Every structure is written in structure tokens, then in C-alpha cells.
């Protein structure tokens, strides 16, 4: 997979209420725990938080283009991470094959 992220474009002409709804959806379907009090990303601006939420949904969906179809979302190859908050990439599903068994486990 390429090093790509799904981020919020930061344009001010978007309906903020709808952006917040999409952000809430993205965080509800992924992992935005990095925003907790004292966590590494709790200082991000509104635009950065929305970008982080959009990106987490996108990455946890194995960079499925359909998951970067939120209000104001865009695909970028520019690293959106800040000096103390990493925006993850390439969160892949791991499959483990059990010896000679054809059974696999997903994590």
C-alpha cells in the first residue's frame, strides 16, 4: 500500500455541523482515543482533529477509497502528522495461519 492519508481539506465553506457529524461517524467507526486528556494528540486544532478522525477510518478500512468520502475529505501523499502526533498509515488486517491447518485467525 502507498503512503497515503485521508484528511480534511480545512476549507471554511463547509457546513461545520455536517463536518462534525462526519467526524463523529469516522471516530465512532475507528479509533480516536489519541484525543483523550493528556494523550499525544489532545492538543490538535479542529481541522487537525477532523483530519485525524477521517484518516483513522480510512486506514482501519485498509485505505478503501469509499471510506474517504466524507465532507471535505481528500487523499494526500503529504504527511499530515504533527511534531508530537503521528497520523497512522497502512493499518492492515493480520491473518495468522495455524501450522498445517487451513484455519486462519483475524486480528
Q: Are the C-beta atoms of residues 23 and 3 closer than 8 Å to each other? A: no
Q: What is the per-residue pLDDT across 82-92, written as a single tens digit (0 to 9) for each?
A: 999 999 997 55
pLDDT of 9 > 70? The answer is yes
Identify the band that residue 36 occupies on the pLDDT scale cut at 50, 70 and 90: confident
The answer to whether residue 98 scores a pLDDT higher than 70 is no
- DSSP string for residues in 6-53: EEE---TTS-HHHHHHHHHHHHHHS--GGGSTTSTTTT--HHHHHHHH
Kindly indicate the confidence band of residue 104, based on its pLDDT and cuts at 50, 70 and 90.
very low
Q: What residues have CB less than 8 Å from 12, skipping those under 6 apart? A: none
Section 72-101 average pLDDT: 77
87 vs 34: CA distance, rounded Å:
10
**Percent over 90 (pLDDT), the chain:** 75
CATH of 5-106, one of 1.10.10, 3.40.50, 1.20.58, 1.20.120: 1.20.58
Amino acid at each position: 500500500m502507498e503512503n497515503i492519508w485521508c484528511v480534511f481539506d480545512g476549507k471554511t465553506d463547509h457546513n461545520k455541523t455536517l463536518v462534525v457529524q462526519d467526524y463523529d461517524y469516522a471516530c465512532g467507526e475507528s479509533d480516536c482515543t489519541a484525543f483523550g486528556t493528556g494523550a499525544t494528540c489532545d492538543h490538535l486544532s479542529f481541522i487537525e482533529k477532523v483530519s485525524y478522525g477521517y484518516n483513522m477510518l480510512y486506514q482501519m478500512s485498509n485505505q478503501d477509497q469509499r471510506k474517504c468520502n466524507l465532507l471535505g475529505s481528500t487523499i494526500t501523499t503529504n504527511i499530515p502528522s504533527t511534531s508530537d502526533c503521528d497520523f497512522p498509515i497502512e493499518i492492515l488486517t493480520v491473518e495468522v495461519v495455524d501450522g498445517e491447518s487451513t484455519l486462519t485467525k483475524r486480528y
